[in-house]
Amino acid sequence: METSTLKSKRLEGKTAVITGATTGIGFATAQLFLSHGAKVIITGQSQDRLDSALEKLRSEHSGDVVHGFLADVRSIEKLKALAEFTGKLFNGHLDILFANAGVGGQGTSIDEIGEEEFDFTVGVNFKGAFFTVQKLAPLLSSGSTIIFDLSSVHSKPLPIFAVYAASKAAGRSLLRSLAVHYAPRGIRVNAVSPGPVPTELGRYSKFEPAQLEVMIKGFGETLPMKRTGRPEEIAQAVLFLASDESSYLTGSDLAADGGYAV
């Protein structure tokens, strides 16, 4: 039994940073990574949510295996500080970087979207992802992996979420360039693109929670699988990309979307 348990730990001895991991997909991924033997740093931009997430994760996993760092990924200075913190904690080496921090679209039409909403969405989803990688990449070495959290909407028209979809499409283009850039260093770069997954991202939407829930459920019923996804299901896809089982994948975008991209 003990040998079987050890073999099932696909990230034994690995170190990971997961941005935006206080709720939703990021939090579910942190739980899964920890259960597979990784040491994890999670980030968030709310101290209360960060403390709550850490309390829960530490109640599930004993030992000095999970740490938190308060950071808004739009701030390059915060990302520099995150890189410094990570380097000291993990002795200068990082195995897995999951650039997960993101915000959903607010459902504003193309004719009405303003500069503030535009800058916020692009700032978190694209600028934040780019500089997260740039600042933490010096800690990566051969065998390390970078994973983006994108969205299947990046390849389909979605007028009321046009800027959100475009920010994710920019991320899709970026990962191709990064895959080529980091390949000589033995670093893989991939992405997971979820379909509709109810998470707390909805707090950034202009829709009321009940209204948003109905919209997402209706969206899910249009998919081939006839349902929305769960954060835990997306986390399993991220685990695959983080593990050695995906050792020949780079530049890939894994659609975990219930068939939305079909």
| DSSP per residue, 87-124 | HHHTTT--SEEEE----------TTT--HHHHHHHHII
pLDDT at 65 over 50: yes
Categorize the per-residue pLDDT at 2 as very low, low, confident or very high, splitting at 50, 70 and 90: very low
Mean pLDDT of 115-128: 96
Residue 204 confidence (pLDDT): 54
pLDDT at 5 over 50: no
Residue 140 confidence (pLDDT): 98
Q: Which residues contact 89 (CB under 8 A, 6 or more apart)?
A: 41, 67
Mean pLDDT of 173-193: 98
pLDDT at 174 over 70: yes
pLDDT at 40 over 80: yes
Query: Which domains are assigned to the chain?
Result: 2-255 (3.40.50.720)
Is 164 annotated in the active site? yes
Residue 215 confidence (pLDDT): 76
Residue 171 confidence (pLDDT): 97
pTM of the model as a whole: 0.93
**What pLDDT digit, counting tens, does each position of 200-258 carry?**
655 555 666 677 777 777 878 888 999 989 999 999 999 999 999 999 999 999 999 99
Q: Which DSSP string do the residues of 20-79 spell out, in sequence order?
A: S-SSHHHHHHHHHHHHTT-EEEEEES-HHHHHHHHHHHHHHS-SS-EEEEE--TT-HHHH
Categorize the per-residue pLDDT at 7 as very low, low, confident or very high, splitting at 50, 70 and 90: low
